[in-house]
Every structure is written in C-alpha cells, then in structure tokens.
Structure 1
Amino acid sequence: MDLFLTGKKVLITGASQGIGEALAKTLAEEGCDLHLVARSGDKLEAIKAEILKDHKVSVTVQALDLTKEGAIEEVLQAAGDIDVLVNNAGVIPSGSLWDVDEKRWREGWELKVFGYINMTRAVYAKMKANGGGVIINNIGNGGEVFDPQYVAGTTGNASLMAFTRAMGGHSLDDNIRVVGVNPGPVDTDRIYNMLKKRSASMFGSEDRYKELEARYPLGRPAHMSEVVDLIVFLASKRSGYTSGTILTVDGGIASRRSII
C-alpha cells in the first residue's frame, strides 16, 4: 500500500530512543525527510547515520532540552517547513500522589503536557499558513486507565486526550488533522522498569516482574511495530478523514479497566 509519504517532512520530538527512534526509521523507509529532536546529541547522530546508510532521505538532528526558554522557536527555525509533527517527548513519573511531589509532577508535565501544547500552538500556526498538515500526539493509555499508582501520568495523559480532541475537532477547517495515539505497554526498557517497580511494591521484590508481564494481553507488551505502523498510517493521506480522535493500542487493557 502506497502511503504517499515520499518527500514529506516530519518533525519528531523525543526521537533518540523508544517509539521516537523506531518511528524515525520507519518513516525513512517510507521516504520521509526527518528533523529529529531530543536531549541526546550522540544518540541522534547514531540514528541519523543508520538511517542515511539505508535510505536516500534528508535527516537533520537537533540536541535540545525542549523545556528551555525559547526552545520551540529554535526547533521551528531549524526544522523549516514541516508536513507532519509527532509530539513524542517526555515521560511523566509513576507513583502515588504521595510518591510524586510537586517538583517532579511539574517537571514531568512541563516537557510532556505543556511541551505538546506549546509545540502544537507554534506548529499549527505555521501549518495553517502553509496550507495544512498533520499533528500526532503520542499520549498513552494511562489517560484512560485511572491508576492511582500513576496519578501524575494518568492526569496528564487525560489532559492531552482532551486537548487533542478539542483541537482536532475543528482543525480540518484549516486542512490540518490533529490525532492522538494511546499506546499501552510497549517492549521498551521503560515498561520493564515500571514492572519491576510495581513488582517491588506488590511482592517486595523486583524479581517477580515477569508475573506481571504475563498478565498483559498475549502475555507480552506490544511489539514496537504494532504502535509505530499505526502512527505512520495516521500521518498519511490514507488516513485523511481522521481528526479529533484517539486511537488506543493496548491489547484491550483500557477496556478491561485494569493497568495489569
């Protein structure tokens, strides 16, 4: 299936690892030019080299802390005109209301919640002036599973879900699509760190985390491609009538109303 993405310019934040890294590589396979942003310049350069070895696309990288004052303006200046924005940067800390103090809560929201909002504000205006585009928010199913042991994350993700729906409900009037993706557990280091922390809390030892993993649908987290391929499809004109909605990829966890 031709996704008609060849030559499209895509800006990905949080592109140095996990979903961001995998997404960059998959979009390169589709012929997209890329602007990749993350804190780690070394990791970005390594990803760039790997992509350019296999694909004839343009890749620019920008090592930047997106919480720094003026950072978004720096990104827009460096990236130039873009067709697709994927908001992906940021991890909100897990823990209960008493585990996550105000400082850590605000730090997590500054990068992910306000980072997505502020980047969308800036990029939307530029896309509108240029005739259209696509904005994809990688959020997380914590916004649908109200887990008190992930209280800062579930609250932040729910806010981003509302933001995505609010923006995407009318954005096609400007030929811009705004959509969200809610991955559940994905096969990354982060999910295993979370499982080990939960295992220690539940069983008194991190070593029993495999018992929690076995409770996931199919007894495993999602494969990276099962999330990334959806994001790529949403970026394409094949998904041209999709806006103001959230697509959840979690094996049905949110519908079970249980995080594990």
Structure 2
Amino acid sequence: MSHSLAVRDEALRALRAAGCVFAEDELAVLCEAAAGDDQRLRELTGRRVVGEPLEQVIGWADFCGVRVTVRPGVFVPRPRTRVLVEAAVPYAEAGGLVVDLCCGSGAVGLAVRRRVPAVVLVAADLEPRAVACARENLAGIGEVYEGDLFAALPAAVRGRVGVLLANVPYVPTRHLPLMPAEAREFEPEVALDGGEDGLDVFRRVAWEASVWLAPGGVVLSECAESQVGAATEALRRNGLRAEVVTDDELEATAVLGHR
C-alpha cells in the first residue's frame, strides 16, 4: 500500500522547511516505516521536523549492517563507532567473553557478536530506557544488566573478560550546548557528558579494567583525537599497554588497553 501523493508532498515540504538536508531520502525511510498509513506518515514526519533523530522516529538504526532497535530517549549509535567493532573483532574468540559497557541500545556488542557468533555477550548501562532497548536487541543472545559501569556486572565475569567494549560518553561538559539539538534534546545527557575534559568516565573504566580483563584481554573505547594523549596515559597509569587505532574514512579514533 502506497501513500497518497498529496501527503507525500506535504511531508517532503515539511522536511525541507525543517532543514533536513537529505529530505528525499528521509521521506523514503519514513514512508517505509508508516507502511502506507497516511496519518502515520504525518505523525512520524511531525516528530522528525521538531528535531527528533530519524532513528528514534522510525525505531531502528543501521549500524555495521545490523538493524538495531532504537527507542525514544535512547542514544543513537553513530556510524563512526564502527571503529570499535573493527578493532574488537580480531580479539573476540569463540567461547570468549565480550562485555559491552555503557551499551546504550546494545549496538556495539551486537555488531561484534554478528561477526563472531560464538562469543558470550554481556552488556550493561546506567540508563533504564537504554537497558530496556538493549534487552530487546540482545534477547536470546546476551545478558543485559542495569547499573553504574562495573558495579552492574555479575561477579562471575570478574577477571574473565576477553574484550571490554566501553563506548563511554566523551563530550566535555562545556561542549554539550554546542552539540546538535537532536542530541541535546532527545538523547540522555548521561550518554553524552564526559565531564570537564570528556574523560571522567573513561578514567573510571581504565582504573578498574585490569581487574575485570582476562590475561591478554583488551579494553576499547572511542575518543576524540585531541583526547588521545590523556586517554593513553590513563591506560598506562593503570598497568595497561596502550594502543591507538584511527579510521580516516570514519573520522574516528579509538584507544585500546591491553592487559
């Protein structure tokens, strides 16, 4: 069932007026989500034109070729975070334990498991809506816990983690007002705010990581290029061998800490 031409034109004009650069592409996605229901298309378009992220409006994001459920109020996985997936896969082994800390929707852990299906996957987040969303995405393939960083994890995984994905918030607090409105207004601040220099949460992860990692395990986290020096120093101070991975195509940087 297709939408009426008049409603499609109305939606397209609204998207363009709202400043959506790829209005035609977004309209196609919204039409698919509305499934021929003109009133539903109007509702979805209305949410989008006030700035709600497209992924939250349609209910999913394409991340590393995986369709990930994204609910309203949940952090939207960024394409650049693929750098973590690419860097993690070589260390993910069949039967090995992968932990997705600050998991949000669970997208990063899910993408790693899709590439290495035999890993054991555990995820955790502090934000209740993120936890509920991650439980949808990881149903039947991973356990999701609610809590603050390592405090959320079961004691049984301590010292057994082969790959620790820590996609922590790393935006300096003073930069939050400069972020796009769709992030500031529709994503939880706890998923964005990294403290004074953006590395407060990362330092907490680095402080405890070696206790949770198995021998030879690795912790991976995305950061800004300007934060690399401080981030690698935090890893070294906590007994981990630091490595930096960059992807020019994604304009992304990740730091790795090896036990």
Q: Which has the larger radius of gyration?
A: 2
- Structure with more strand by fraction: 2
Q: What is the TM-score with the length of structure 2 in the denominator?
A: 0.45
Task: Tell me which protein shows more helix as a share of its residues.
Answer: 1
